[in-house]
Chains A and B, each alone.
Chain A
Amino acid sequence: MAAPESGDGNNGAARMVTLISSDNTRFEVEAAAASLSQTLQLTILDGGGGGGDGIPLPNVDSATLSKVLEYCIKHAPAAANGGAPNATAVDRAELERFDNEFVNIDQSVLYSLIMAAHNLEIEGLQSLVAKKVADMIKGKSPMEIRRTLGFPDPTPEEQAEMNAHMLEYGWAYE
């Protein structure tokens, strides 16, 4: 089925789609921005999400979806140009600055974001958040990493394994 001209039928205005978060909040966003998600792109190409229907996203809450869409809206123009070949250095620097500030957020939001990016298949966002988490745990000791990521304290058995590993790779802790 093909209904690419769905929506309000006005060719001058960008086509809008509606996304519905797990807590039933509706977000109206340009189709081009939502299409950064490979998952949504197929539905949108099929003409879904327009009018009063909306696309339900049962795995993404409204706070997370709002962040995801903030990213998509910012990155949509560059993506529409097929990446960055036409982008000026200023545009690229602006996107980089946006990205850096974008991931400067609470850790729990980062986790929600990376899972949402994974579910919605937004490659750029997933890569951005994964890099941020990698930077957060880089240079930390295993115990510090566990605490940073909110792991429970290790069981005695796990602690023994960690100690044995430390003996084997002692140089990694110097």
Chain B
Amino acid sequence: MEVAMPTDDLVEEILIRFPADDPVSLVRAALICKAWHHIVSDAGFRYRTSSSCPFTGCFIPKAPTSSQCRINGWRALDACHGRVLLHSCLWGLMIVWDPITDKQTTLPKLLQDPELYYWGWNAAVMCGTGNEECSHVDCHRGPFNVVYVGASQTLGMFTRVYSSETSPVHGARRRPPPSSSTAA
């Protein structure tokens, strides 16, 4: 059968019309050829389907190959908006890992005083676009904030916020800690 195939943007129009409750069809369609896989993996397609089919996030062009995140001793503290916040007791480090792009950002060492650990602490990562309208579908490439909450005998309850915008990603590990602001 000699049939002219629809162009990529028409294929997108077709694939976008799969029922939201049928992600399996989308997975199969992604297999048809590289062009279709690219269409389904594209950020624009993810954005268009995000409200109906949050599943499309799995069609990433490249599987994560992070070696650092597979070393023992890393613990996931939080995962939000396409980022994972990992902590290593061994190295006393926190990194923010984007599993889709495999990009890692090492946060500046926050704690110099081991006494801070005694009373417990936790941290969370979140979108840092500052836009309340952000759909969080494709903001994982943008700025982020890490909020650290701890308690100590000398400081009491305290919060620190790391912003990837005010602290450049590269060389962040070498910057004097903490470059973040103190709140509350």
B4, B5, B6 — most chain A CB neighbours (10 Å):
B6
How many Å from the CB of B60 to the closest CB on chain A? 11
Given contacts A107-B3, A111-B6, A158-B33, A145 and B14 within 8 Å (CB-CB): no
Max chain A C-beta neighbours (<10 A), residue from B17, B29, B31, B32: B31
| A19 CB, nearest partner CB in chain B, Å | 21
Which residues between 3 and 49 of chain B lie within 8 Å of chain A, taking CB atoms? 3-7, 9-10, 13-19, 22, 24-25, 27-34
Q: Once A and B bind, how many residue pairs between them come within 8 Å at the CB atom? A: 80
Q: Is A166 an interface residue (CB 8 A)?
A: yes
Measured in the bound complex, the distance between the Cα atoms of B4 and A126 in whole Å is 16
* Interface members, chain A 10-45 (any B CB < 8 Å): none
The answer, among B1, B5, B22, B32, for a CB contact under 8 Å with A145, is B32
Most-contacted residue by chain B among A112, A151, A172 (CB, 10 A): A172
Looking at A108, A137, A141, A158, the one whose CB has the most chain B CB atoms below 10 A away is: A137
Task: Take A139-B25, A141-B28 as given contacts and tell me if A115 and B6 are in contact as well, using a CB distance cutoff of 8 Å.
Answer: yes
Q: Are B17 and A130 in contact (CB under 8 A)?
A: yes
Query: B-facing mask of A135-174, CB < 8 A → 1, else 0?
Result: 0011111100110011100100010011001100100110
A138 CA / B29 CA spacing, docked (Å): 9
Which residues from chain B contact A142 at a C-beta distance below 8 Å?
28-29, 31-32
The distance in angstroms between the C-alpha atoms of A173 and B3, with both chains bound, is 27
Neighbour of B22 across the interface among A126, A138, A146, A166, CB < 8 A: A138
- Contact-residue size bin, chain B (C-beta under 8 Å from the other chain): 20 to 34
Q: Tell me if A118 counts as interface (CB < 8 A to partner B).
A: yes
Q: From known contacts A111-B5, A151-B33, infer whether A172 and B18 are also in contact, taking CB-CB under 8 Å.
A: no
Is there contact, CB below 8 Å, between A137 and B17? no
Cα separation A146 to B32 with both chains bound (whole Å): 6
Chain A positions within 8 Å of B10 at CB level: 114-115, 118, 126, 130
Partner of A134, one of B7, B18, B30, B32: B18
Does B132 count as interface, using CB distance less than 8 angstroms? no
29 contacts between A and B (CB under 8 A): A111-B4, A114-B10, A115-B4, A115-B10, A118-B7, A118-B9, A127-B17, A130-B13, A130-B14, A130-B16, A133-B6, A134-B15, A134-B17, A134-B18, A137-B25, A137-B29, A138-B19, A140-B28, A146-B32, A146-B33, A149-B3, A150-B2, A154-B33, A161-B34, A165-B30, A165-B31, A166-B31, A172-B24, A173-B28
Beyond A134-B18, A146-B33, A158-B34, 17 extra complex contacts between A and B, CB < 8 Å: A107-B3, A111-B4, A111-B6, A112-B4, A114-B6, A127-B17, A130-B16, A130-B17, A133-B14, A138-B22, A140-B28, A149-B32, A151-B32, A154-B33, A165-B30, A166-B31, A172-B24
Measured CB to CB, the residues of A under 8 A from B are 107-108, 111-112, 114-115, 118, 126-127, 130-131, 133-134, 137-142, 145-146, 149-151, 154, 158, 161-162, 165-166, 169, 172-173
